[in-house]
Amino acid sequence: MSFKFKPADVFETRHNAPTSADQQAMLRAIGVESVEQLIAETVPAAIRLPEALALPPALSERQFLKRFK
């Protein structure tokens, strides 16, 4: 008997994210059109960064732990 398992260190396999439809329903429920509008209406402009952070590509948990140790 053999089993084929997906890698457990991949975040996506353990995370139950809301679907696009779920996100739209939540946004409608609070009266905004988008996540960007929600942020604009809740986070003061004075503390928001003017542009996106320049971050390196994401690592899997295994890759991170290998570098971290």
Is 6 within a domain? no
Please report, for residues 21, 33, 37, 54, 55, the alpha-carbon distance to residue 28 in angstroms, rounded to integers and kept in the order given: 11, 7, 12, 31, 31
Looking at residue 46, the DSSP 8-state letter turns out to be: G
Better pLDDT: 9 or 68: 68
Is 28 within a domain? yes
The number of distinct structural domains making up the chain is 1
Please report, for residues 16, 30, 36, 48, the alpha-carbon distance to residue 22 in angstroms, rounded to integers and kept in the order given: 12, 13, 16, 26
* Per-residue pLDDT tens over the stretch 17-65: 889 999 999 999 999 999 999 999 999 999 999 999 999 999 888 898 8
For the question of whether the overall pTM of this predicted structure is more than 0.75, the answer is no
- Containing 35, the helix (H) or strand (E) segment is helix 35-42
Question: Looking at this protein, which amino acid is placed at residue 23?
Answer: Q
Is 44 within a domain? yes
Domain that holds residue 36: 17-49
